[in-house]
Amino acid sequence: MNRALPSTALPDAATPPRASACPGLLRIVAARDGGICRVKLPGGVLSAAQARAIAAASTRHASGVIELTNRANLQVRGVREGHEAALSAALIDAGMGPASGAAYAGASPSSASSTTASDANHVNAALSSADDVRNVMISPAAGRDRHALIDTTPLCTELLALLQSDARFAALSPKFALLVDGGERLARVDHPHDVWLAASVDEDGVRFVFGLAGCPGPATNTNESPDDNANGTGALAAIAPSQVPALVRALLHTFLDLAAADTTRMRDLLAMHSADTLLLHAQRYVNFPLTRDATLRDWRRENPADASLRLGAHAQHNANLSHVGGQPPLGRLDATTLNRLADLAQRNGNGTLHVTPWQSVLLPDIPTQAATAVLTELISLGLACDAAQPIAHLIACAGSSGCAKGLADTKNDALQLAAQLPADVDVHLSGCARSCAAAHCAPYTLLAVEPDRYDLYRRDGCAGFGRRVASQLTIDEAAALLARLARSYPDA
């Protein structure tokens, strides 16, 4: 076995950050309804104090609209012109910035007024780069799910520290993301990631099966469309939990070693190099074997994921405690509601909110005897807390009211659709073909073609949104057709 190589990159000679149009904590992107500031939450966790800080800052510097994202983060929408720096500074001062971003530059944006413009730009670039790489997804019930094989929260913390500690990783795209799946029932495992790791049990105990791009499971099967795994590899090999950080580090350096300047995602690199080539290259960085394990070709996670567990009250591994969850309509909150959620979490739970990749929120560690009362309060705040509610099955992008590329007012149209749909029909409304609101392939997609008109697609093995089954539908027409299709194709 070759001795593992250290990174060849030094902080002073790090690869420059990739240009990006993605919103970030310091990179506030203009939209039709104002600027967008994205706040990345480590493990999806937000303290009550941080929630109040976001609510206050969104009111002072923006429109007061807060969105939950499909990567378990937050977005502040409607940032007012001239308020960008003040908003970023307020959020960083509340502890929502990267852990090591200031270490790159030795300062923070709040101290930029005492520095030169060049120094301030250096500070902002360093913080923005450290912020961009914080893309590790775990279950919102990690450490609490009764069905989990392992608590992934320590690994998440370790991987976030790794991502921020090597200045070379600033060259990764802000979309480059990792999934660490502990085997929980409450888990989002249908979102493609650049590197995924999933807990599994064999004769040696808990191991992490891993793959490049895609989702945990085979690269293809008869029930999946060609892009369900986003050109992923399926399971390649399995490693011990203690080896996960070293593996991730090796794969990240391998990606940066081999990727061209315009190659931003692992699926793009796999189009040019085989998975075996990437494993062979990654072997330079680790002192344990990285070879494909053919016995894992058809590997699947042991516990089927159940997204409905994000809603309502459910027992944790400690039967005396429960997590209680609700979903704001289309993932949007106002500052008042966020403050109320913070109060609920502090008064009844452990003082944290867990944002989920279904654009919902979970309050963990609620005493079981108080769970019903907390659930009642979530309902009073307008959150959907039952999977039978149609609004819990709809996602929509910002649409024409918030995005210049949107061809229809998807948010308003989705609310109109929810009033007419039967339960359990999952629908994605997209204002354009970019599909910003959905990282997964939804069973049904309504793609806007003009104001108040949509083409309907059904997932059936075709690439992209699936097969187009109707064109130029109004929302009323779409609702009627979706109800008929749901009866004809109940598993779509």
Per-residue pLDDT at 127 exceeds 70: yes
pLDDT at 255 over 90: yes
The token pair that represents 46 in the structure block: 């937000």
> What is the mean predicted confidence (pLDDT) over 68-88?
97
Q: What is the model's pLDDT at position 63?
A: 97
Mean pLDDT of 284-292: 96
Lowest mean pLDDT among 226-230, 469-473, 478-482: 226-230
122 versus 316: the higher-pLDDT residue is 316
Residue 394 scores a pLDDT above 60 = yes
Q: Supply 86's token pair.
A: 């003040």
Mean pLDDT calculated for residue range 214-234: 60
Dihedral of the alpha carbons of 332, 336, 341, 346, in degrees to the nearest 10? 150
Contact between residue 88 and residue 111 where contact means Cβ atoms under 8 Å apart: no
**What pLDDT is attached to residue 424?**
86
Q: What value does the mean pLDDT take over residues 70-84?
A: 97
At 302-351, the pLDDT tens digits run: 889 999 999 999 999 998 999 999 999 999 999 999 999 999 999 999 99
Comparing CA positions, the residue from 17, 49, 313 lying closest to residue 170 is: 17
Q: How confident is the model at residue 218 (pLDDT cuts 50, 70, 90)?
A: low
* Structure tokens that stand for 369 in this block: 């005897």
Whose structure tokens read 């795209």?
Answer: 173
> Cα-flanking dihedrals φ and ψ of residue 445, to 5°?
-130, 130
Mean pLDDT, rounded, for 460-466? 81
Decide whether 11-131 matches 149-182+190-296 in CATH topology.
no
149-182+190-296 maps to CATH 3.30.413.10: yes
Q: Residue range 295-301: average pLDDT?
A: 91
User: What was the pLDDT predicted at 14?
Assistant: 45
Domain boundaries of the chain, sorted by first residue:
11-131, 149-182+190-296, 307-385, 391-488
Q: In this predicted structure, what is the pLDDT of residue 437?
A: 85
DSSP string over 218-282: -S--TTS-TTTTTT-----EEE-GGGHHHHHHHHHHHHHHH--TT--SHHHHHTTS-HHHHHHHH
According to CATH, the topology of domain 391-488 is Sulfite Reductase Hemoprotein; domain 1 (3.30.413)
Q: Which residue has the higher pLDDT, 381 or 106?
A: 381
The pLDDT-based confidence of 115 (bands split at 50, 70, 90) is low
As a whole number of angstroms, the distance between CA 234 and CA 212 comes to 7
Q: What is the mean pLDDT of residues 265-294?
A: 96
Q: What is the pLDDT of residue 408?
A: 97
Q: What is the pLDDT of residue 227?
A: 43
Residues 6+ apart with CB under 8 A from 113: none
Please give the CATH architecture assigned to the domain spanning 11-131.
2-Layer Sandwich (3.30)
CA–CA distance, 106 with 117 (Å, rounded to integer): 15
**Beta bridge partners of residue 7, listed in sequence order:** none
- CB-based burial, 366-381: b 16+ in 10 Å, e otherwise: beeebbeebbebbeeb
Q: How confident is the model at residue 226 (pLDDT cuts 50, 70, 90)?
A: very low
pLDDT value at position 429?
A: 97
**Mean pLDDT over residues 201-214, rounded?**
94
Q: How confident is the model at residue 222 (pLDDT cuts 50, 70, 90)?
A: very low
Query: Which CATH number describes the domain made up of 307-385?
Result: 3.30.70.3340
Measured CA distances, 302 to 26, 199, 314, 315, 329 (Å): 40, 9, 20, 20, 32
Least confident residue range of 128-142, 177-191, 210-224:
210-224
